[in-house]
Amino acid sequence: MRTRAHIVVSLMAAVTALVIAGCGGASDSVDGDDNTASGSGDGGRLSLVAYAVPKVGFDKVVPLFQKTPEGQGVTISQSYGASGDQSRKVENGLETDIVNFSLEPDITRLVKAGLVDEDWKDDKFNGIVSSSVVTLVVRKGNPKNIRDWDDVVKPGVKIINPNPFSSGSAKWNILAPYALKSDGGKNVDDGIDFVTKLIGNLEGQPKSGREATELFLQGAGDVLLSYENEALFAQRNGEPIEYVTPPTTFLIENPLAIVNKSKNPEKVQAFKDFLYSAEGQRAWGEAGFRPVDPEVAAEFDEFPPPEKLYTIADFGGWDKVNAELFDPDNGTIAKIYDQATS
């Protein structure tokens, strides 16, 4: 009898021991599905929390950084998800060293929480690490003949756009036609009318730009509102899609900031500097993002300038736009969205 009891106990002990033995290495190994060349961890570890789509970019940039003297042996663990959701997680205690979100308000939230310094924008690119433009992704051959914003709201065209309350991409995507139809914010009513029509044609509202692409690739919807880089990414993967950048569109600017509670401030600064360097910017360009460094951007010819490109500055910056249009309680677009979808 006694020995049998021991079997159970020793079985449990064995499992525990096995796992504890296994844990030793956990902290040293970090992602990189594609950058397995990453260091052994002796150069320190950084953690990055980012919005959903720039993984393609970081997959290129991180290994390059690890080849520099500063980046030698630094491991970078990464988390990707809907911009607003990721920002909320960091605000609520997810520990990290550096954040990269789709749009500024998600960083502003961390400034308010005391996690990011007030002066985070004071650098040579104003806190923006990468940019892109809003594009229309359609099925191969463009069966619904979608060329411009007016085609998107035609009856019977089903639109996929992520949820603007969690996704940054969704807000950029809505701002583009709003900018066009309101003539840069002059005729607010016309802009809102158009956005109302657009929201009426929405089919899905996944939480992030990445999940929106996935839903579209799985066959839902006729047109996907998306980042240009996301369209390029899907196209390079051989997906049966093509994309149209409408003549008038919007400049997407993705900010990056260092978290002031970082335990490894030198390395994280070195990483940020590398992301801003010509080499880092070139890597972003190769991943399909428009480099923010104009000299590097000039090296690429797959990023034709649209006829008219609005920027958030044209509308007085994100603080103003967010309060007027996207505030969950009072924003004009937020209200329309809530009425149509909740």
Name the site residues for another protein (rule: CB under 8 A).
Answer: 1-2, 4-5, 7-8, 11-12, 15-16, 18-20, 22-23, 25-27, 29-33, 36, 38, 47, 49, 52, 55, 75, 77-82, 84-85, 88-89, 91-96, 163, 165-166, 203-207, 210-211, 213-215, 217-220, 233-234, 237, 328, 341-342
Please, what is the minimum distance in Å from the beta carbon of residue 215 to another protein? Answer: 6
Kindly tell me which of 193 and 214 has the beta carbon lying closer to another protein. Answer: 214
Kindly tell me which of 192 and 234 has the beta carbon lying closer to another protein. Answer: 234
Please, what is the minimum distance in Å from the beta carbon of residue 198 to another protein? Answer: 16
User: Which residue from 159, 240, 236, 147 is spatially nearest to 197, judged by alpha carbons?
Assistant: 159
Question: Phi and psi dihedrals of 76, rounded to 5?
Answer: -125, 110
Please, what is the minimum distance in Å from the beta carbon of residue 108 to another protein? Answer: 14
Please, what is the minimum distance in Å from the beta carbon of residue 53 to another protein? Answer: 9
SS3 (DSSP) at 131: strand
Reading the block at residue 274, the tokens are 């590398």
Separation CA 104–CA 137 (nearest Å): 25
Kindly tell me which of 199 and 283 has the beta carbon lying closer to another protein. Answer: 199
Please, what is the minimum distance in Å from the beta carbon of residue 106 to another protein? Answer: 11
Kindly tell me which of 55 and 267 has the beta carbon lying closer to another protein. Answer: 55
**Which run of H or E residues covers position 100?**
strand 98-100
Kindly tell me which of 212 and 292 has the beta carbon lying closer to another protein. Answer: 212
**83-91 vs 104-112: helix crossing angle, rounded to 10:** 10
Q: How do strand 45-51 and strand 223-227 relate by DSSP bridges? A: unpaired
What would you report as the CA-atom Rg of the chain, rounded to the nearest whole angstrom? 22
Per DSSP, 53 falls in state S
